[in-house]
Amino acid sequence: MIVTSTDKKAEISEQLCIGCTICVKKCPFDAIQLAVLPNTLPKLLTHRYGLNAFALYNLPTSTKGKILGIVGRNGVGKSTALKVLAGKLKPNLGRCADPPDWPEILGTFAESSFPSLHKEVIVEKQKVVIKPQHVDLVIKTWDGKIKDLIQKLDAEKNSSSLIKLLHLDTLIERNIDQISGGEVQRLAILLTLIQDARVYMFDEPSTYLDIRARMVVANCIRELKSPDHYVVVVDHDMGFVESVSDQICCVFGEPSVYGIGSKLYSPKEAISIYLNGFLPAENINLRNFEFSAVIFMKNY
């Protein structure tokens, strides 16, 4: 522990820590978690929120013309990865006190598609639209009729078929605060789909939706696939992500402690890897048991 007479917060020296776990057991607030990571992992560090804070390793990167699916537990960095890809968060490569500049960051990701995505998003300022994880943000940011909001954002003025497909046609005369959770979710997805953008991101689009609506939404997202667009989908529903994606990254780790992006797998490979709980390329167990088909179907 590093603490001086003027400090209000104690810090753990990660260089000096030998992992004895005494502080973990003694802390009365269960505030300390200890993770022992491989020596090679620091080279893959993408972003860290501060000393002793959450760290994301091995950023999954999206390629134009291919839909990237990201799956993983809550708190392992899926939304952090999305923020970095969307240009909302500058990755610090773990150097919180001395953050690197863009040339160094881009050099680190030289072998991935991140530099071309960065060029379009940060340099050329191409539009990025995100379906937020928390759809109540849509309600908080708009006060008025749904119809007016759709008209305002509809770039090509061709949203009527999507409105019908997403069963929103009976709701558009209502005020936005008069619709339920599933309806807000479908509206948030529609508002993302109808905008003219270079990058489309969907953070947990299947939440609150029944299976029929999930299939419709999956088809609508598939329609966005083109050589000019980047599309990224983050979700907990493996079946949904499998049906919508061309390649999948499994983000694993310890919630609120660290997260690691796996290499990209084909959707079928990713499903079986996730159920088996073992990443063959990384030689890592995601958990110490396999999901049976029965448990998976129940969750589905």
Interface region with ligand SF4, contact rule CB under 6 A, candidates 13-21, 84-92, 190-198, 254-262: 13-21
Total number of residues shown for the chain: 300
Among 10, 11, 21, 53, binds ligand SF4 (CB under 6 A): 21
Q: Per CB under 6 A, does 294 bind ligand SF4?
A: no
Q: Closest Cα to residue 127, out of 207, 184, 196?
A: 196
The whole-angstrom separation of Cα 73 and Cα 110 is 28
- Regarding 23 and contact with ligand SF4 (CB under 6 A), the answer is yes
- Our CA dihedral for 10, 16, 17, 18, rounded to 10 degrees, sits at -160
Q: Per rule CB under 6 A, is residue 41 in the interface with ligand SF4?
A: no
Buried b (16+ CB within 10 A) or exposed e, 125-140: ebebbbbbbebeebbe
Query: With CB under 6 A, what is the number of residues at the site for ligand SF4?
Result: 10
Residue 216 within binding range of ligand SF4, rule CB under 6 A: no
Q: Is 33 in the site for ligand SF4 (CB under 6 A)?
A: no
Task: Report the residue number, 22 or 297, with the smaller CB distance to ligand SF4.
Answer: 22
CB of 35 to ligand SF4, least distance (A): 11
Under the criterion CB under 6 A, does residue 12 sit at the interface with ligand SF4? yes
19 belongs to the binding site for ligand SF4 (CB under 6 A): yes
Residue 248: closest CA among 257, 258, 256, 238: 238
d(CA 200, CA 63): 12
- Provide, rounded to whole angstroms, the least separation between the CB of residue 7 and ligand SF4: 15
Query: Are 78 and 70 in contact, with CB atoms under 8 Å apart?
Result: yes
Exactly one of 3, 10, 22, 51 binds ligand SF4 (CB under 6 A); that residue is 22
Site residues for ligand SF4 per CB under 6 A: 1, 12, 17-23, 34
